[in-house]
């Protein structure tokens, strides 16, 4: 990334179909703590994206993001998984299959030697995803949390929220 936090494409590390980066992409972010009233709405949103064939980019790290990934993986639409660490050598079979099918791309701004996910790497990953995306959907942003302050500073993207 440069001084303004913008992605420098030659710093992007990836595994999978890089052509997915050319598609219209919706980033999905969600705080770890989420009200029960929003959970099903996030699932419905994921199913709608899957059924519409929309490309979703997310870290798929929090519990709700992992659930969204599960719903998306059941479809055939493109998915981009942004990592808050380097790409590992061993990839889970269901992820490997989606990569082999050309519908999943793993991307990260971190080299392979970054093995631990920290609050700092998660924040960099989230900014990286927002930069890559054409629009952003927030499942839920905890009051006073990192996600809330991050999206408050996004100026050039359409940001949508899933309503309680």
| Predicted confidence (pLDDT) per residue in 28-52, tens digit | 999 888 889 899 999 999 999 999 9
* Residue 124 included in any domain: yes
Q: How many helices (H) and strands (E) does the chain have?
A: 5, 7
* Residue 12 included in any domain: no
If one counts the domains in the chain, the total is: 1
Output the pLDDT for position 67: 95
* Residue 4 included in any domain: no
Q: Domain range for residue 51?
A: 28-161
- Which tens digit of pLDDT belongs to each residue from 14-33? 999 999 999 999 999 998 88
Residue 138's domain is classified under what CATH number? 3.40.50.450
Helices 36-52 and 63-73 meet at what angle, rounded to 10?
30
Average pLDDT over residues 58-75: 94
Rounded CA gap, 128 and 132, in Å?
6
- Which tens digit of pLDDT belongs to each residue from 70-111? 999 999 999 999 999 999 888 899 999 999 999 999 999 998
* Residue 134 included in any domain: yes
Rounded CA gap, 136 and 115, in Å?
27
Strands 13-16 and 104-108: antiparallel
* Residue 150 included in any domain: yes
For residues 163 and 116, which has the higher predicted lDDT (pLDDT)?
A: 116
* Residue 23 included in any domain: no
């Amino acid at each position: 990334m440069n001084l303004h936090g913008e992605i420098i494409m030659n710093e992007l590390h990836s595994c999978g179909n890089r052509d997915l980066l050319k598609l219209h992409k919706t980033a999905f972010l969600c705080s770890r703590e989420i009200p029960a009233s929003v959970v099903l709405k996030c699932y419905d949103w994921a199913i709608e994206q899957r059924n519409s064939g929309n490309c979703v980019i997310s870290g798929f790290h929090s519990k709700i993001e992992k659930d969204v990934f599960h719903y998306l993986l059941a479809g055939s639409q493109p998915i981009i998984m942004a990592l808050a660490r380097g790409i590992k050598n061993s990839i889970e079979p269901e992820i490997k299959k989606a990569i082999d099918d050309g519908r999943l791309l793993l991307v990260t701004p971190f080299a392979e030697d970054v093995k631990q996910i920290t609050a700092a790497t998660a924040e960099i990953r989230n900014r990286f995803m927002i930069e890559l995306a054409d629009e952003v959907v927030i499942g839920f942003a905890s009051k006073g949390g990192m996600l809330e302050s991050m999206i408050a500073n996004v100026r050039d993207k359409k940001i949508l929220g899933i309503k309680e």
